Chain A
Amino acid sequence: MLRKELVLVGHGMVGQRFLEALFDRPGADAWRVTVLAEEPRPAYDRVHLTSWFSGTTADELSLCPPEFIAEHGIDLRLGEPAARIDREARTVVTSAGRQLRYDALVLATGSYPFVPPVPGHDAEGCHVYRTIEDLRAIRAGAADAQVGAVVGGGLLGLEAAGALTAMGLRTHVVEFAPRLMALQVDEGGGEVLRRKIEELGVLVHTGAGTQQITTGEDGRVRGMALSDGTELAVDLVVFSAGVRPRDQLARDCGLPVGARGGIVVDERCRTADPHVWAIGECAQAVDGRVYGLVAPGYAMAEAVARELTGDEGSFTGADLSTKLKLLGVDVASFGDAHGTTDGALEVLYANSRSSVYKKLVIGRDGALLGGVLVGDAEAYGMLRPLALSGTPLSVPPEQLVLPASFGAAAGPVVLPDEAVVCSCHNVNRGAVRAAVRDQGCESVAAVKKCTKAGTGCGSCVKLLGTIVDEELAAGGVERSRGMCEHFAHTRAELYEIVRVKGIASFSRLIEEHGAGGTGCDVCKPAVASILASLGNGHILDGEQGALQDTNDHFLANLQRNGSYSVVPRIPGGEITPEKLIVIGEIARDFGLYTKITGGQRIDLFGATVDQLPTVWKRLVDAGFESGHAYGKALRTVKSCVGQTWCRYGVQDSVALAIELELRYRGLRAPHKLKSAVSGCARECAEAQSKDFGVIATSEGWNLYLGGNGGMTPRHADLFAADLDRETLIRTIDRFLMFYIRTADRLERTAPWLERLDGGIEHLRAVIMDDSLGICADLDELMSRHVSTYEDEWAATLAQPERLRRFVSFANAPGVPDPTVRFVPERDQIRPALPGEDGPSPQPALIAGPELEVRTR
């Protein structure tokens, strides 16, 4: 078959989507495809470009696996841009002088960052923010810079500011308009956004233009002069003052372009020349707009792919809704956000204490037209499709903006089937329901696969989940909220059952409230933790012993070769030289690997099961206690050195950290708990990344709740300021007990708080104002914990019965497991790899204590 020639100019996000859409269709084999790409690498995810700074590699950002190019026989020419188009001859000439003939030419050249022509704009130290190469240059420049400035306070500008801040630069944002993100949000929203961003330490200058970039003798950026007279000392500048369509190729060959740039196309994305199409950011769509978002570009790509494979496609305009997390602040705008429709009314909720701003634009007929959400954009997934569908609201609009804790009680919001749920892939609610009903998709993952919904920006995934659940329920499929197949209850429900009925054993609980079966590694440890947090004695006693995960069972952490680690508690990270020496001696005598942990204490690795009691005997004798590194319990309360030594400290952070650690040690919870206390706002203890963090002020203590490191980091929220010591401790007591009572299994405080109806406001009402009347209960539970705490290891050693389990072999006590082998590395031991021969542990020990162990 003689194939026609298709040339694509530009291999960006839209270009790649065009290729995918084309080769998804049966008619694609009519074309031989050549792609001219200016950048040195295949298409990558520009939307998530900023994540490159936090470690996402260029490969991970790539949108185009090499197999894709090979499989479809595409001739991809990287680093070879198109230089000229001859429409008469239907040829493209590349920068390398190659001439390519085409039957169809698709332009997807995107945009370039606009750099205002102020004096000094091209000095060394000035950057733009569009490609991976740009980011490389910024990172290199940031290495020896202290202060950065971003010109432009729009979406990209704030993203760039976030990146600079994260690299440790003091950062200014200079915005010409009177507010940030002027395109997307209104004045009220801009105010809240500004406050939130300033809280993060970014310095915002609005209503100010950049007049000049000043340079030093070496030609490098030194400062910036603003139109309001301000002079900033900066050594790195990022221009993010908007983009302009790259339409030069089209201009040069006489194709019409819009007044403000952009290759003019019709509703089929065709230019004035029937052989030439333009898609993405380089095109001016038929509605006269140039779209700077990826979703409209994708829609254009699909329209052209259809047309080139013998079908019809069209693109007449798109919705500009956006939802972003900028510097950790949720910002969303959708539909007619600025209320420009005739007769439109506004419904507003603003709360400057919690920095939340929500505005809905309501049409004369009561339909939702659009809105702006700042600080809490939870409702975006639901509101956007509602606004775009144009159907009248089924609930009063106030209900849609008020926090749930205000008892917004009326019925659920009903979305019509035509409402577009996923705008990236233009999938409506009806299509999602059909996938569940008719195509047997029983999960969001299945729906994603089958409809593509949710696979773009991801902002609709939550709503997808709701629709899938509703549809399954409608079809009679019960989606169990239960913990596992053995319990139809959530952890919080089981907690209440155990508490109210006074149940003290797993067997009674599963018998009376279980769904059949004998339990598993999900419900057994979870129930064990509930029993423990309600004060049911030593965790190894009686039946409880059989519920614990291996770590709790041996009061130590299992390592990859079957040995264990030992972590003694070092409250607040403070330790005497004597105690340090004891740890050193024990490690030396037992040949353990030692490492300082990220939690300000010392981990001793490589103990065999048999060694655990003897190691611990020596630790307990020297005054150490279990550090609960193995339990879902309080880990550490980190501290900075504080006022006692540090010249900036305003309170004794070490003393408070020790007090908190001793108060909450041993407290069993749905997941581990971490805390820290910093002696001043410099925050050397990283308290804002903890479940509960405390920062000293000259007036008292600021309490931060719901922070998390780990896989999904979250900064803690400021919960209360300038508390005295008693109020602080009482508040933490209640916070912890309320969390323990209501959280799901393995749910850290951060996701719990995010999920909590009414959020932090509700939490304040419950534990500061006692809105549920449970504070006395919570206080009593905590005082019970504090008064009944005992060190698990001391208690274990005191009872020979409890030591029976610490043998490698029941029929050969004293014989260590010969398969646990170590080899030397950097003057210590490490587990031997398979095939590596290492000495197995000697049946200890030098100068060990005598332990009475009851073996029968």
Chain B
Amino acid sequence: MTTALLTTAAVEIHDGSRWIRVCDRADLVPGRGVAVLLGTDQVALYLGPDGEPYAVENRDPFSGAHVLARGLLGSRGDVPVLLSPMYRHSFDLRTGVCLDEDFAPDGSPAVLRRWPVRLTEATTAGESR
């Protein structure tokens, strides 16, 4: 058994102090999301039609359920949007702003928190025979 270096494309999110690897590029299907844990925060990760990754909070402000990673991507006019699977609100992927309603039922502004996200070539230690 030998130890070798394997190279995979990874997805990294900046949590405010550093870049953290959250999953492989291969975990993302274009147009479909996954949820990842960043400490105790839940982040919805998407690969846009342009091939760019987007990271927004997973909590749907209108239902309070953490389900945004299970929505659909699409476009409204020129705006790339994320469509909530719960009550079908759409959010501008670039800004997190809800395009249908300004406020959530609890009175807070309907804007999703966003995180800086990037694709990198990550090198990990792997094992091969």
Contact = CB atoms under 8 A, between A and B. Distances in A.
Interface of A: 485-486, 517-521, 524-525, 545-547, 549-551, 553-554, 558, 560-562, 609, 804-805, 807-812, 815, 817, 819-820, 834, 856
Nearest to B20: A811
Given A521-B88, A809-B37, A811-B37, A554 B70 contact: yes
Contacts of A519: 72, 74-75
A815 B37 contact: yes
Contacts of B1: none
Interface string B75-98: 111001101011010100000000
Contacts of A550: 67, 70-72, 85
A interface secondary structure, majority: loop
Contacts of A819: 42, 59, 65-66
Nearest to A563: B65
B interface secondary structure, majority: strand
Contacts of B32: 545-546, 553, 805
Nearest to A808: B35
A550 B68 CA distance: 10
B29 A545 contact: yes
A453 to B, nearest CB: 29
B67 A521 contact: no
A552 to B, nearest CB: 11
26 contacts: A486-B75, A517-B74, A518-B80, A519-B75, A520-B74, A520-B83, A520-B90, A521-B72, A521-B74, A524-B72, A524-B74, A545-B32, A546-B29, A546-B30, A550-B71, A551-B85, A558-B67, A558-B85, A804-B27, A810-B22, A810-B45, A812-B36, A817-B66, A819-B42, A819-B65, A820-B66
Nearest to B31: A546
B63 to A, nearest CB: 6
B95 to A, nearest CB: 17
Using C-beta atoms within 8 Å of the partner chain, give the interface range for chain B. 35 or more
B125 interface: no
Contacts of B75: 486, 517-520
Given A550-B70, A561-B65, A819-B65, A521 B83 contact: yes
B117 interface: no
A551 B74 CA distance: 17
B73 interface: yes
A288 B48 CA distance: 73
A810 B34 contact: yes
Interface string B31-63: 110111100001001000100000000010001
Given A486-B75, A519-B72, A553-B32, 9 more contacts: A517-B76, A546-B29, A804-B27, A808-B35, A809-B37, A810-B36, A810-B45, A856-B24, A856-B26
B116 interface: no
Nearest to A550: B85
Contact of B27 (A524, A812, A856): A856
B64 interface: yes
A804 B27 CA distance: 9
B77 A562 contact: no
B70 to A, nearest CB: 5
Contact of B72 (A549, A807, A808): A549
Contacts of B35: 808-810, 817
Given A809-B35, A809-B36, A856-B24, A520 B45 contact: no
B23 interface: yes
Nearest to A516: B75
A547 to B, nearest CB: 8
Contacts of B73: 518
Nearest to B22: A811
Contacts, number: 101
Contacts of B72: 519-521, 524-525, 546-547, 549-550
A809 B85 CA distance: 17
Contacts of A809: 34-37, 42
Nearest to B81: A520
Contact of B76 (A520, A547, A549, A562): A520
Interface string B87-116: 010100000000000000000000000000
Contacts of A811: 22-23, 36-37
B77 A485 contact: yes
Contact of A485 (B71, B76, B83): B76
Nearest to A542: B29
Contacts of A546: 29-32, 72
A819 B85 CA distance: 17
A399 to B, nearest CB: 43
B11 to A, nearest CB: 9
Contacts of A856: 24, 26-27
A815 B36 CA distance: 11
B74 A560 contact: no
A809 B31 CA distance: 17
A319 B80 CA distance: 54
Interface in B1-28: 22-24, 26-27
Contacts of B65: 560-562, 819
A-B interface, 5 closest residue pairs, ranked by CB to CB distance from nearest:
A550-B85, A520-B74, A562-B65, A546-B31, A517-B75
B62 to A, nearest CB: 11
Contacts of B26: 856
A389 B74 CA distance: 50
A807 B49 CA distance: 23
A812 B64 CA distance: 22
Contacts of B49: 518
Contacts of A486: 74-75
Nearest to B66: A819
Contacts of B71: 521, 550
Contacts of B80: 518
B64 A834 contact: yes
Contacts of B67: 550, 558, 562
B30, B31, B73 — most chain A CB neighbours (10 Å): B31
Contacts of A562: 65-67
A553 B64 CA distance: 21
A558, A561, A562, A819 — most chain B CB neighbours (10 Å): A562
A631 to B, nearest CB: 15
Nearest to A523: B74
A550 B71 CA distance: 6
Contacts of B77: 485, 517
A550 B80 CA distance: 19
A396 B107 CA distance: 61
A609 B70 CA distance: 10
B118 to A, nearest CB: 16
A314 to B, nearest CB: 48
B85 A817 contact: no
